Amino acid sequence: MEPRLNAFASPIIGKVFKHLIAANKPIADSTVPYATQELVRLRASQINGCGFCVDMHFKDAVHAGEEATRLNLVAAWREATVFTEAERAALELAEQGSRLADGTGVSDEVWENAAKHYDEEQLAALVCIIALINAFNRANVMIRQPAGSYRPGQFAQD
């Protein structure tokens, strides 16, 4: 599969993606566990059908030491026994935050459950993680960015 646009050669996409990647810095510095961040990114990417981001976040998580079994079960997290209650709350927030077009938004129940496990700054970080990954997913799906060639740390910022 060939992408509709070359995101790596486009000056406009390159500049915008550079800013989106930089926007992840405060999230990386937050106290939300890295594993939770990657689980959330992976789940949103699965929902949005972004193969490139599924590939990327699976590989980055494995590279950081996450168990492949847990990553494999993200799509079925409700039935899986390998996630903490806090991770489950973050995954549900990611699902509802990624499915806004379904018309329900994020329910008070889901928000309140997440607030049991995360303080205000952690919730802010989760909101930003979900918003940013959805932006990346939408761009990559629109241009049909192919999956499979990502290398862990490929887009790391200094």
How confident is the model over 15-66, as pLDDT tens digits? Answer: 999 999 999 999 999 999 999 999 999 999 999 999 999 999 999 999 999 9
Contact present, 22 and 111 (Cβ < 8 Å)? no
Predicted pLDDT at 125: 98
Whether 158 has a pLDDT exceeding 70, the answer reads no
Listed in sequence order, the DSSP H helices in the chain are 11-22, 25-28, 34-48, 51-63, 68-72, 85-98, 108-117, 120-143
Say which CATH superfamily domain 32-143 falls into: AhpD-like (1.20.1290.10)
Predicted pLDDT at 71: 97
How confident is the model over 99-157, as pLDDT tens digits? Answer: 998 888 999 999 999 999 999 999 999 999 999 999 999 999 999 999 999 999 887 75
Whether 68 has a pLDDT exceeding 60, the answer reads yes
Q: Which residue has 């932006």 as its token pair? A: 135
- Positive or negative, the CA dihedral 69, 74, 79, 84 is positive
Say what the pTM is.
Answer: 0.94
Domain residues of the chain, as ranges?
A: 32-143
Predicted pLDDT at 153: 81
The upper half-sphere exposure of residue 152, i.e. CA atoms within 13 Å in the direction of its Cβ, equals 10
Predicted pLDDT at 157: 59
Candidates 42, 27, 16; CA nearest to 134 is 42
Interior CA angle at 70 toward 58 and 65, to 5°? 60
